[in-house]
Structure 1
Amino acid sequence: MSDPNRRAAVSHLGSKRAQRKKASVTRVVRGTEFPLRAAPTPQGQTPLPANVGSNYNTDWARRFPARVARRVARDTVARALVRYYAQPTIKGVDRLSELDGPAVFAANHQSHADTAVIITSIPEPWCNRLVVGAAADYFFGNRATSAISALFVGAIPIERTALNRRTIDKAVTLLRSGWSLVIYPEGGRSRDGWGQQFRPGAAFLAKQAGVPVVPVHIRGTFDILRKGRAWPRRARSVINFGRPLDFGEDENNRRFTRRLQAAVEGLADETATGNWFAARRRLHSADSPGIEGPSASAWRRRWALTEPPPTDGGPDSPAVAKRRWPYV
């Protein structure tokens, strides 16, 4: 082989070696980037904005100036609106006398009016250190609604459709540091006034933080601001607090969630019938009417909600001519 050809071959071989070395170095550098920097976004996916949705940072809303503004708004504007539109009757506050420290307040969810009713009904000291678990995709969709939700409601973003470690850690940290949490275990508002099956999120947060769960039942807010309605109308509401529930030694999240839902169903029975003793007996015998309502057509389910319950709380009340839900 002539010298020019040999020099060209050596040059080509050196170029290939240099390219392989460069590629190897690039792979090593890229391999060390992930723990130090955010992982690259997969092709075809758009990254979530830095301060929107579950990424929204609500720490500023728990500083002193924001807490003062929220308390003033709650005790003036919010209470006035709730008193006018919801005319609430608050029951079961005496059951909170056993509660010492923060708790998860777990309530059924009928409408957007629920949050205003519950944050103006929870007594001191819990109402002064209170956050509300709000749907990240709805209340934290943009920076304007995020700021309003965090400031005036005390909301923190909660993912409804997927597990998000950041939102879970934030809620648990707040509970451990003395903040109470309002959450709706159904995961969404009622479609027709009846409830939905509870999800284990509230149980999981309470167990991780080591705090009790207070079952809460809200009645009447569906008529105030039902799903799809843009403007509220006046209706009477009742909010009923139950005794705090603690995890049993051998109890997992699902079992606790079933017990929590049963407690809320017992409160619903108590509110509907007005008979505490009869409602407690049905709760202990696992015979409370379910909050999910009858398996029937839409008009029948709605009719069951509007019918008055038996006056003495029993299925054989002589004051009622025909049997009504939940005694049908």
Structure 2
Amino acid sequence: MSDRSSGSRRTAGPRRGVPDLARLRALNPAALVRSAGFPVTSAPTPSSVEPLPGPPLGDRYESSWARRPLARATRVATQETLGRAVTTALCAPQVVNRDRIDQLEGPAVFVANHHSHLDTGVVTGALPRPWRHELVVAAAADYFFDTPGRAAAAAWFWGAVPMERKRVSRRSALAAAELIDKGWSLLVFPEGGRSPDGWGQEHKGGAAYLAVRCDVPVVPIHIHGTDRVLPKGSSMPRPGRVVVNFGPPLTHGDLDARRFASRIEGTLELLADETTSDWYSARLAATRGESPGLRGPDIDSWRRDWLLERRRPAQQGAASPGGSAQRTWRDRARGNRPW
């Protein structure tokens, strides 16, 4: 009897020390706001009244206000001060081969690989005038235009326009084509999203379609290093080195959109190899059919991760497209393959 009572007394102390979870939940700021009611929160809508529809979002978002003179002026000022300062502090991008677009005239579709949220700022900062300030950015409608606040921020700061990436959207395509026809250039990341593992992803055909539809050139751009500064899933950037390599403008000629998309992806692969080796080695490898693809080898994920890490030191040692460093796994592809 005494043993049972002493045992119950031993467990009584810890139980009294356990916080009241219901009381803790009641102290949650969000719960306090919800429980406050009107006027802290919105008044309830009577059942007999149909609520007004919310603002159009996704690919229905109207971003034309962000291209009006006042919005453009404040965007240019912010990008040239705050945006450039942040980009320089984090990665101080080294821009190479920009002279390849010296003869470019009129609007163009700029196409780049995509590893990080920094990519847009890196590319826009590397573009020469007037394209830098006469540019709209194709942004994922389901990500950047899912809430009014985020949509307004993307449209104002980057001049972003919504673009569907999960389905074919005639609305998105026509809106982008109309802007190009009006003289705006377009920045597109044809992978449709940031790389989850540092390797490239399959390209979508929207950029090629718009270039053929509007009869404008495509300028391929390879970005190297942003996946180390701010990779997908990370909220804390780590300062690092970034290279932006411009390719020559491409025209579609007699190619249809599908074949032109393949040509664009192939040119980006060549630029990627050039960025981490040199001009001659990249073209020699392409001639031999040995260019390392953007997507990496089709092997197990842990081997892809290992291979990506093995190739990073060579990339970090490549000072420019004229450097001597080679991408590591091309050499393995010629001999002993670890996969």
TM-score (norm 2): 0.76
| Residue of structure 2 equivalent to 1:69 | 74
| Residue of structure 2 equivalent to 1:271 | 275
Mapping for residues 46-61 of structure 1, pairs under 5 Å = 49-61=54-66
CA distance in 1, matches of 2:180, 2:57: 23
- Mapped pair 1:142 → 2:147: yes
Contact 1:262 1:288 in 2 (8 A): no
Equivalent position SS for 1:218 = strand
| Residue of structure 2 equivalent to 1:303 | 306
Contact 2:212 2:256 in 1 (8 A): no
Mapping for residues 223-302 of structure 1, pairs under 5 Å = 223-249=228-254, 251-273=255-277, 275-302=278-305
Equivalent position SS for 2:329 = coil
Paired amino acid for 1:112: H
1:90-144 superposed Cα distances (whole Å, 9 cap, x missing partner): 1110100131111000111101111111111111111010000000010000110
Q: Return the match for 1:84 from 78, 86, 89.
A: 89
Give the share of equivalent positions with the same residue, in percent: 45
C-alpha distance 203-285 of structure 1, shift in aligned 2 (>3 A): farther
Paired amino acid for 1:302: D
Q: Return the match for 2:115 from 110, 116, 137.
A: 110
Contact 1:49 1:55 in 2 (8 A): no
Equivalent position SS for 1:105 = strand
C-alpha distance 285-215 of structure 1, shift in aligned 2 (>3 A): farther
Contact 1:61 1:151 in 2 (8 A): yes
Equivalent position SS for 1:168 = helix
- Structure 2: gaps spanning 5 or more residues: 1-51, 319-323, 333-339
Equivalent position SS for 1:302 = helix
Paired amino acid for 1:256: F
> How many positions carry a matched residue from both structures?
273
CA distance in 1, matches of 2:145, 2:325: 50
Contact 1:309 1:325 in 2 (8 A): no
CA distance in 2, matches of 1:257, 1:283: 18
TM-score (norm 1): 0.78
1:263-290 superposed Cα distances (whole Å, 9 cap, x missing partner): 00111001111x1122123335543210
Q: Select the structure of larger CA radius of gyration.
A: 1
Contact 1:223 1:233 in 2 (8 A): yes
C-alpha distance 48-176 of structure 1, shift in aligned 2 (>3 A): farther
Shift of 1:162: 1.4
Equivalent position SS for 1:192 = coil
Paired amino acid for 1:196: Q
CA distance in 1, matches of 2:92, 2:291: 27
CA distance in 1, matches of 2:114, 2:77: 25
Equivalent position SS for 1:244 = coil
CA distance in 2, matches of 1:107, 1:203: 13
Shift of 1:49: 4.8
| Residue of structure 2 equivalent to 1:122 | 127
CA distance in 2, matches of 1:325, 1:57: 46
Equivalent position SS for 1:246 = coil
| Residue of structure 2 equivalent to 1:315 | none
CA distance in 1, matches of 2:265, 2:120: 19
CA distance in 2, matches of 1:83, 1:289: 30
| Residue of structure 2 equivalent to 1:199 | 204
Shift of 1:154: 0.6
Equivalent position SS for 2:102 = helix
1:202-250 superposed Cα distances (whole Å, 9 cap, x missing partner): 100111111110111111111111111122221111111100110121x
Aligned alpha-carbon RMSD (Å): 2.2
C-alpha distance 263-49 of structure 1, shift in aligned 2 (>3 A): farther
Paired amino acid for 1:182: L
Equivalent position SS for 1:195 = coil
Equivalent position SS for 2:331 = coil
Paired amino acid for 1:254: R
C-alpha distance 319-262 of structure 1, shift in aligned 2 (>3 A): closer
CA distance in 1, matches of 2:59, 2:325: 53
Equivalent position SS for 2:179 = helix
Shift of 1:297: 3.2
Paired amino acid for 2:298: S
C-alpha distance 319-260 of structure 1, shift in aligned 2 (>3 A): closer
